[in-house]
Amino acid sequence: MSEELLILVDENDNAIGLEEKIKCHLPNGKLHRAFTALLFDKKGRLVLTKRAPEKMLWPGIWDGTVASHPRKSETYVTSAERRMPEELGISCKLDYLFKFEYHVPYKDIGSENEICGTMIGIIDDSTKFSLIKDEINEVKWVSAQELFLDLKINPNAYCPWMLIALELLNKSEKTMLEKYKFVLSSWINPELQKALYESIRIQLPDNKWRLVK
């Protein structure tokens, strides 16, 4: 990991300092600010990205569309909109949905200990991606039903923060649920929500995740 400085936060997401990225991701971790952005097409399919095998944590695992960390002067939305062209070679306007806290170890190598802002955006299904080396290895589109079926077989094939973000979609602000109901309707259903919850419990058996108000 680079020596990039991340924003340390308290349990209410108040900034309390800066710390080197690597130190934030040691096994005990330090609670810091992060984001995940979920891009859908108008049919409700989600763009998934596979983390490069060079990544220290969760290498080769499927993630949401873009995940990274805000810089000191950025909001969740501006940081995600800045990072998207860097990782995928595309731009997209995003809306903020919610944020959540979670802490999960990765083997004995490190951990994620984050308050994670979640954003949503819409792109065309013909969008061409340009992947950054050492970050993303593969991209694919997935429907809610396809993910539901795969979670039954491969719950560990997906990053825990992505699963949490999807499981919490129904906790988005009402204005956002209304604005994006044409894509979110298939993702907010009891059957999929249960499968997401069960998959999260496999990776976070001690229930260390929560919605942050």
Reported as a single tens digit per residue, the pLDDT across 98-146 is 999 999 999 999 999 999 999 999 999 999 999 887 889 999 999 999 9
**Which residues are paired to 121 by β-bridges?**
39
Give CA angle at 31 (96, 26), nearest 5°: 125
Cβ contact 114:102 at 8 Å: yes
Q: 3-state DSSP call for residue 158?
A: strand
Which tokens hold the place of 34?
């992060």
Handedness of CA 167, 172, 34, 78 (dihedral sign): positive
Residue among 48, 123, 116 nearest 76 (CA): 116
The half-sphere exposure of 210 on its side-chain side, counting CA atoms within 13 A, is: 7
Q: Which tens digits make up the pLDDT trace of 151-204?
A: 999 999 999 999 999 999 999 999 999 999 999 999 999 999 999 999 999 999
The total number of residues shown for the chain amounts to 213
Cβ contact 159:59 at 8 Å: no
Cβ contact 46:141 at 8 Å: yes
Q: What are the residue numbers of the active site? A: 114
Superfamily of domain 5-207: Nucleoside Triphosphate Pyrophosphohydrolase (3.90.79.10)
CA dist 72 and 39 (Å) reads: 24
Confidence label for 4 from pLDDT (cuts 50, 70 and 90) = confident
